[in-house]
Amino acid sequence: MESDSGSQASPVSAPLSKSEKEKAADAGNGENCAVEQAVAPSCRVGLENAYLKPARETPRKKLCGYLHKCSGKAPIRSWKSRWFFYEESKCHLLYYRTAQDINPLGSIDVSSASFDIKAGADEGVFEIRTPSKEFILKAVSKQAMMYWLQQLQIKRWEFCNNQPWSLVEDAVDEGQFSYCEAALEFLPPVKTPTDVVGIKAASLPAAQSPICFQNISLKHPWIEIQNTVHNLCGSRQNRGDCGGAFNFEETQENFEIIAEEEHVEAEAEETVSTETQENTRTKTKPSFIRKTKKGNCGFSRFAEGTGQDKVASLTHQILVLTEEVKSQKELVKLLHKTLEAAQQEKRESCRYLATTKEKDRLELVRHKVRQIAELNKRVEVLETERKDLEHRLALKEEHIEELQAHVQLLMDKNQAKQQVVLKLTEQLTKEMSDSAEEADIIAAETLYKQQEEIEHLKDDLEAYKTQNQFLNSEIHQVTKIWSTVAQREKSLLMKCARLQAHNCQIESKYLMMLRKLQGLPDLASDHMEMVKGLIQEALQWSVKEEATVPVQQSPINQYDDYGFMTFPDYEAEDWKLLAKIQALEIKSSNLLNHDALEKSLSERWNNLGELIPSSELKSLLRCGVPVEHRQRVWRWIVSHQVQHIRSPGHYKNLLKQCEVAEHPASRQIELDLPRTLTNNKHFTSPTSQLVPKLRRVLLAFSRQNPTIGYCQGLNRLAAIALLVLEEEENAFWCLVHIVENLMPPEYYSNTLIGSQVDQRVFKDFLSEKLPRLTAHLEQHRIDLALVTFNWFLVVFVDSLISDILFRVWDAFLYEGTKVIFRYALAIFKYNEDAILRIQDSLEIYQYLRFFTKTIGDSRKLMNIAFSDMNPFPMKLLQNRRGAHRLKLEAELRELERIKAQYVREQADHAAGHLDGTASEDEEEG
């Protein structure tokens, strides 16, 4: 883990500046210098508070102490003693090699960590898991382990609940932020082990390892150098300030004061605690105080000893000092090597920076490259040596295995001999002992084994109880933290969605304003160029800028669930601008309405159950069918409407007829296949799987209804059915249902009389529902049939965006053509104000070409269609269709009569012309 040297807090408390250290040293007159060196420079503030205000003010208890940290990877693992200190500002657990170090070796992020203990692990072992790493720690006792775990839980809870959440509008109830009493019911408060946790523990010597370098962190050599230099400088300064004297009495007195304070705190915790726990561990002795006392009387004991004791004591001290000097020499060598490498790198960097000529710099770089090549060669040589050593190690292991096998053979022989001896001994015992004594011995052995097993089971039971209590407390707290964070995150995401939607609306209005400015005829040339530049810049706002946003709400993919392009890629610049506006409108609508409305709609569909005709089903269909339910709903509607004409195998028979004889409409079908849904990825490629299905569906329908055969527009109806229903037979019957059940007669005939009638009916409804718009269109002599005829013929395919299109089809398949009239009126109502502002006929026609693509709010359009357009009785629609059909048929008959009369006149005129030519020939003859 990367260390936070230079920025992290000190092991015990905040570090003092140099001037503050000098003032503290002068104030103490050299009496506290030994204490400061033993605890850490950063501990002086805490000690001074302890001296000055022992009874008036109780300082906040620090969470710190020595723990063993598991280092390395299996199977090579080792325990290293580390000084751990909790930093409240960042909720990090810092660890150092000793309490006297100034820079940490690393840190553990407690705010995102979880804690665990294993029932079968060694005593005092627990785990801290963070998202990036897992730490295995070991306390000196079970009580210390439970104290650390409970305190870390409390620190994590306090840190998570003290975070600022100013951006959240809906504040979470503050009652749930307090440390719940339910957590204390799972795990009662643990008594503070004052001898191994707290400031006093800093005076205890760190656990020494039998290997001199085992406790040194080789991953952080620079931090080790800093800490070693700091400790050496601190020890020299203390020796100079104190005049070489160590006041053991003052040191002992100070720590006794701290010990008394911590003892009082421990008694208070024990009084408040609801359940006292028995301390089964023998407390460690206050070794530091005893060592100081032993140091005071060391010289007197040495003087009283005999000559032999003196020699032995001096020899022992010489050995200890020799070992210490060796370890320090090895450490200094390692640090010198590291320092030399760093200095060499610094000199090379300085030479490179000091060089002004490119050639010299290039020469330095080449020299560096040669050094790298030499180092690579050395690495290869070392790799070869490593492989050789591995080979030799394998040979040694084989030899060891052979020796082990030989030893095992000898042990088997020995065991066999022992078994023979045991058998002979048992026989001798049986012969020499009475049967009663044998029974007593066996009973005693059995009882002893049973008692031993019972003790083991009790220990296991106690371990599992402790583990269960802690894990229940951990689960309870983590669940609370997770629910709180989830609620906050949801609030932030909702606010972010609203802000993004507002931004999209502003951007859309900005683009519309640019487009209007571009269309102004009297705009100056320089202003026109500026507008064009702004439009080009706006068109380049794309996914690259959105990728820099860390949170993306409802991202818009290139294609939707059915393969339609989310917004088309037009070639003309004006249409590209419109596509950008359309995309922004869609995104804004999705951000504002998608989450809340779609979720409630999906819940209503999930709770609907079996599909039966009802007013509730009608209401749901008008709101739109979710994607996951649409195929099932459409299949039910189609099968319910065509069950009187549908028969098994009918579709396959139609396909066989198409294979036998080619239908006259097959050529027109082949021409229309590439032009079907050009903005859908499933039909743009000739190799798509849906293209042959569409061909078979259209050919089968031409056989099913020979009166119509094939009409342009049926390909798009069948394509929409295939996208949703997927199976071509179901798509075929869906096309039959639309043409033969929903649409009026002769809607797709050669004369398209049914479609023409609906255009006249729609014009009547438009004049009634939207009189201002109708008058405006009539004033500019706009023929709406040029725009709306295709809407009715293909049910808005290629006119509306896919999301709104499928919502229209959901209601259309169930209710019929009345839905087409409702949505056509709603589209004009949706854009009425924009059309009324246009005062030029050509501009109105241009606007009507694309204005359906700018509709992005499906909810608003649906409300207009089914609320604002009421009343809309089906009987009125049928009556007007009948009246207009009679008028149209009379007009067609009149046209046929005029056409026939014109044909007769042309024939008579041609005959008279031929007679006149013949008479002239006779005269010439």
Least-confidence region, from 107-116, 158-167, 393-402, 759-768: 158-167
Is residue 352 very low, low, confident or very high in pLDDT (cuts 50, 70, 90)?
Answer: confident
Q: What is the pLDDT of residues 777-795, one digit of tens each?
A: 999 999 999 999 999 999 9
Do 209 and 203 meet the contact criterion of CB atoms below 8 Å apart? no
Q: What is the pLDDT at residue 102? A: 83
Is residue 580 very low, low, confident or very high in pLDDT (cuts 50, 70, 90)?
Answer: low
38 or 429, which is more confident: 429
In terms of C-beta density within 10 A (0-12 exposed, 13-18 middle, 19 or more buried), how is residue 484 classed? middle
Is residue 251 very low, low, confident or very high in pLDDT (cuts 50, 70, 90)?
Answer: very low
pLDDT tops 90 at residue 638 = yes
Q: What is the DSSP letter of 59?
A: P
Q: List, in order, residues 6 or more apart from 41 with CB less than 8 Å away.
A: 10, 15, 16, 21, 102, 230, 234
594 or 711, which is more confident: 711
Least-confidence region, from 448-452, 685-689, 745-749, 800-804: 685-689
Amino acid present at 507? E
CA distance linking residue 604 with residue 622, whole number of Å:
13
Amino acid present at 441? I
Q: Which helix (H) or strand (E) holds 65?
A: strand 64-73
Q: What is the DSSP letter of 285?
A: P
**Cα first-last separation, the chain:** 122
Helix, strand, or coil here: 677? coil
Is residue 218 very low, low, confident or very high in pLDDT (cuts 50, 70, 90)?
Answer: low
pLDDT tops 80 at residue 229 = no
pLDDT tops 80 at residue 545 = no
Q: How many residues does the chain have?
A: 925
Q: What is the pLDDT at residue 552? A: 46
pLDDT tops 80 at residue 175 = no
Whole-number Cα distances in Å, 190 to 61, 160, 194, 665: 15, 22, 12, 88
In terms of C-beta density within 10 A (0-12 exposed, 13-18 middle, 19 or more buried), how is residue 401 classed? exposed
**What are the residue ranges of helices labelled H in 816-873?**
818-830, 832-836, 841-850, 858-863
Question: Which tokens belong to 533?
Answer: 């530049």
Q: What is the pLDDT at residue 828? A: 95
CA distance linking residue 854 with residue 556, whole number of Å:
16
Give one DSSP letter per residue of 463-527, joined into a string: HHHHHHHHHHHHHHHHHHHHHHHHHHHHHHHHHHHHHHHHHHHHHHHHHHHHHHHHT-TT--HHH
Question: Which tokens belong to 581?
Answer: 């506006």
Bond into 75 cis (ω within 30): yes
Q: What is the pLDDT at residue 234? A: 62
Is residue 239 very low, low, confident or very high in pLDDT (cuts 50, 70, 90)?
Answer: very low
Pairing of strands 92-96, 106-109: antiparallel
Q: What is the pLDDT at residue 60? A: 62
Give one DSSP letter per residue of 170-234, joined into a string: SPPPGGGGS--HHHHHHSPPPPP-TTTBSGGGGGSPPPPPSSTTTTS-TT-HHHHHHHHHHHHHH
Helices 753-769 and 818-830, axial angle in degrees (round to 10):
50
Is residue 589 very low, low, confident or very high in pLDDT (cuts 50, 70, 90)?
Answer: low
Least-confidence region, from 214-228, 321-335, 371-385, 814-828: 214-228
Q: What is the pLDDT of residues 45-98, one digit of tens each?
A: 333 333 333 334 445 678 899 998 888 765 677 888 889 999 988 899 999 988
Bond into 613 cis (ω within 30): no
Q: Is the pTM for the entire model greater than 0.85?
A: no
pLDDT tops 60 at residue 267 = no
Do 772 and 691 meet the contact criterion of CB atoms below 8 Å apart? no
Give one DSSP letter per residue of 624-656, joined into a string: ---HHHHHHHHHHHHHHHHTTT--TTHHHHHHH
As beta bridge partners, residue 69 has 80, 137
Rounded to an integer, the average pLDDT of 539-567 is: 58
